[in-house]
C-alpha cells in the first residue's frame, strides 16, 4: 500500500510536472451563480488540464456558498477526477476531538478527497483524525501567501539563540509529526526566503506553494528555495492563470514547460550558486508596519519639512524578537565589510547595535552625544585602539548630518571609518553627502524599495504610497 505522498512522488515522476490546478469557481466568473455553473467550470478545467496536473485542488468555500447543491457538485467534481490524480480539498479546517473526526470523515469518506489543508493552531490532537489513514494526506498551513500572514506567522518565539518564528515552529513540528508518511506544508511562493527556511527545517516534506501567477511570485526563486534534493517536493498551485486563459489546456502545458526549463537551469548551476542564501526581506518589511515603526499622516521632521511618512525605529526595543531579525539583516551586510568594531550612534541605534554585537559577536563602542566633564571625560565609550577601523551603525539615513558628527568624534579618537550601515535610507541626500566625503553608506532598505513592495503586495492604499513618492520626488528636487 502506497502512502499519499508516495503516490504524489510517482505521478510527479511519471508526468514530469509539479503543477497543482486550483479549482476555484469564483461566482463573478461564472455565467450564473449556480452549482451547475460551478460544476461545468471545474469539469472544463479537469478535462483540459488532466494530462499536466500533478494534482487538483478544489476550494471548498466556492461550493459551500452555493448551499447543498454546491456541496453535491463538489462531490461529483472530486469523483470525476481521473484515477491516479490526487485531489486536495482546500478547506483549511481546524478543530478538536469528535469535531475533527467528523471533518475528516466528511473530506475523505463523504467527498472522497485524497488530502486536505488544515490549520495547525489547535495542535497535534486536532490533526490526528486526518493522519489515521496513510493513504490520505494533510497539508498544514505554515506560511501563507497573503501579505497579512506576517501579522501572526512571522512573530518570533523566545528561547533560542536565533529566535524562531511561528511559521518556523510549525515547519519543525510538521517534520516531527509527519515523519512517517502523510503530512505536508502550505508555504506561499510569494515569500521565497520563508520557503527556503521551511525547506531547511522540513527537508523531506511536500510543500504546497500558492502564489504563482496572479499573486506575482517568481517561479525560479520558488523552485530554488523549495525543491527537495531529489528535485521534487514542491507542488505549485495555479488557479486564475489557467481558468481565465482562452485555452486552459495550453496554459497548463506552458506552465509545466516553464517549470521544466527552470528546473533544468537550476540543475546546471554550480552548487554554491544553487544553494545561495536568499535575502530575508519581505517578512521584515511587513514587520516594520505591524510594529508601528512606519506611520502615515502628517509629520514635521527635524528639518522642518512636513512629511506624509514617519519612521520611528525606537519602537523596536518593545519587540525583542523583531529586533533579533533586524540585527540579523545588519549582520548579513556587515559580513561583507572589514572592520574591528561597530559603533552605534545615540540614541535610536544603540539598542540595534547592541543586538548586532550580541548576535554577531562584534565588539561595540559608541560616541557620546554629549561629552561628560567628569570621570574619564571620554568622548567614545568602550575599548578600542587608535588605528582600528569602525563600521558606523545607525537606524536611518536622511541628510547624513548625525553621521558626520559621530564620524568626527571617532576620527578625532584616532579611529578609521569607511562604512556606515543603516536599516532604512530615506533618500534625502545622506548617501550622496557621505560618498562625497569618502564614506560608503549601506542600507538594508531604501524608502523606495519599501514603497515598491507595499505597492506590489497591495498592503497599503495606492494614494498613500503615491503621496510618499511625491514627497520623495520633491525633496530630491530640493536637494
Residues annotated as catalytic (active site), given as ranges: 92
Q: From residue 403, how far is each of 9, 25, 343, 354, 398 by CA, in Å?
A: 56, 56, 11, 18, 10
| Alpha-carbon gap, residue 19 to 257, rounded angstroms | 10
| Alpha-carbon gap, residue 238 to 45, rounded angstroms | 12
Task: Report the candidate in 78, 199, 173, 180 with the shortest Cα–Cα distance to residue 119.
Answer: 173
Could you tell me the sign of the dihedral formed by the alpha carbons of 230, 53, 178, 190, in that order?
positive
CB-based contact 313:284 (threshold 8 Å) = no
Within a 10 A sphere around the Cβ of 437, how many other Cβ atoms?
12
- CA dihedral 42→47→51→55, nearest 10 degrees, is 20
Question: Is beta strand 137-143 parallel, antiparallel or unpaired with respect to 115-118?
Answer: parallel
Query: What single DSSP character describes residue 119?
Result: -
The strand ranges marked E within 39-85 are 55-58
Question: Is beta strand 364-367 parallel, antiparallel or unpaired with respect to 380-381?
Answer: antiparallel
Q: From residue 159, how far is each of 169, 280, 291 by CA, in Å?
A: 12, 21, 21
| Alpha-carbon gap, residue 11 to 16, rounded angstroms | 8
Ramachandran angles phi, psi of 7, nearest 5°: -65, -40
| Alpha-carbon gap, residue 32 to 412, rounded angstroms | 77
CB-based contact 193:147 (threshold 8 Å) = no
Amino acid at each position: 500500500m502506497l502512502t499519499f505522498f508516495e503516490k504524489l512522488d510517482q505521478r510527479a515522476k511519471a508526468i514530469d510536472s509539479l503543477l497543482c490546478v486550483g479549482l476555484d469557481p469564483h461566482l463573478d466568473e461564472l455565467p450564473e451563480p449556480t452549482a451547475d455553473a460551478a460544476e461545468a467550470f471545474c469539469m472544463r478545467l479537469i478535462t483540459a488540464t488532466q494530462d499536466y496536473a500533478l494534482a487538483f485542488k478544489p476550494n471548498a468555500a466556492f461550493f459551500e456558498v452555493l448551499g447543498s447543491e454546491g456541496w453535491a457538485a463538489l462531490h461529483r467534481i472530486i469523483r470525476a477526477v481521473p484515477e491516479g490524480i490526487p485531489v486536495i480539498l482546500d478547506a483549511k479546517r481546524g478543530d478538536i476531538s469528535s469535531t475533527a473526526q467528523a471533518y475528516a470523515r466528511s473530506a475523505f469518506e463523504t467527498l472522497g478527497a485524497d488530502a486536505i489543508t488544515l490549520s495547525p493552531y489547535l495542535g497535534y490532537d486536532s490533526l490526528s483524525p486526518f493522519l489515521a489513514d496513510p493513504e490520505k494526506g494533510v497539508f498544514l498551513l505554515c506560511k501563507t501567501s497573503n501579505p497579512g500572514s506576517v501579522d501572526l506567522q512571522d512573530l518570533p518565539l523566545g528561547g533560542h539563540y536565533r529566535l524562531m518564528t511561528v511559521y518556523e515552529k510549525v515547519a519543525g513540528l510538521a517534520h516531527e509529526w509527519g515523519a512517517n508518511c502523510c503530512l505536508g506544508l502550505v508555504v506561499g511562493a510569494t515569500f521565497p526566503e520563508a520557503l527556503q527556511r521551511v525547506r531547511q527545517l522540513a527537508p523531506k516534506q511536500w510543500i504546497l506553494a500558492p502564489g504563482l501567477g496572479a499573486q506575482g511570485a517568481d517561479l525560479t526563486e520558488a523552485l530554488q528555495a523549495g525543491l527537495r534534493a531529489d528535485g521534487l517536493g514542491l507542488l505549485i498551485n495555479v488557479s486564475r492563470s489557467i481558468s481565465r486563459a482562452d485555452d486552459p489546456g495550453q496554459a497548463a502545458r506552458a506552465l509545466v514547460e516553464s517549470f521544466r526549463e527552470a528546473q533544468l537551469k537550476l540543475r546546471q548551476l554550480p552548487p554554491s550558486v544553487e544553494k545561495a542564501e536568499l535575502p530575508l526581506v519581505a517578512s521584515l518589511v511587513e514587520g516594520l508596519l505591524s510594529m508601528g515603526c512606519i506611520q502615515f499622516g502628517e509629520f514635521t521632521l527635524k528639518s522642518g519639512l512636513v512629511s506624509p511618512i514617519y519612521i520611528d525605529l525606537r519602537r523596536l526595543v518593545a519587540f525583542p524578537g523583531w529586533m533579533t531579525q533586524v540585527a540579523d539583516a545588519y549582520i548579513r551586510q556587515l559580513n561583507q565589510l572589514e572592520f574591528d568594531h561597530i559603533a552605534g550612534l545615540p540614541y535610536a541605534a544603540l539598542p540595534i547595535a547592541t543586538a548586532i554585537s550580541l548576535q554577531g559577536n562584534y565588539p561595540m563602542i559608541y560616541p557620546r552625544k554629549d561629552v561628560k566633564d567628569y570621570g574619564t571625560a571620554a568622548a567614545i565609550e568602550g575599548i578600542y585602539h587608535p588605528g582600528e577601523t569602525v563600521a558606523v551603525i545607525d537606524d536611518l539615513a536622511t541628510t547624513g548630518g548625525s553621521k558626520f558628527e559621530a564620524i568626527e568624534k571617532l576620527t578625532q579618537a584616532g579611529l578609521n571609518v569607511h562604512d556606515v550601515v543603516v536599516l532604512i535610507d530615506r533618500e534625502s541626500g545622506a548617501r550622496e553627502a557621505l560618498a562625497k566625503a569618502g564614506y560608503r553608506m549601506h542600507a538594508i532598505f531604501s524608502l523606495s524599495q519599501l514603497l515598491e513592495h507595499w505597492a506590489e503586495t497591495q498592503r497599503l492604499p495606492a494614494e498613500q504610497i503615491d503621496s510618499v513618492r511625491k514627497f520623495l520626488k520633491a525633496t530630491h528636487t530640493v536637494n
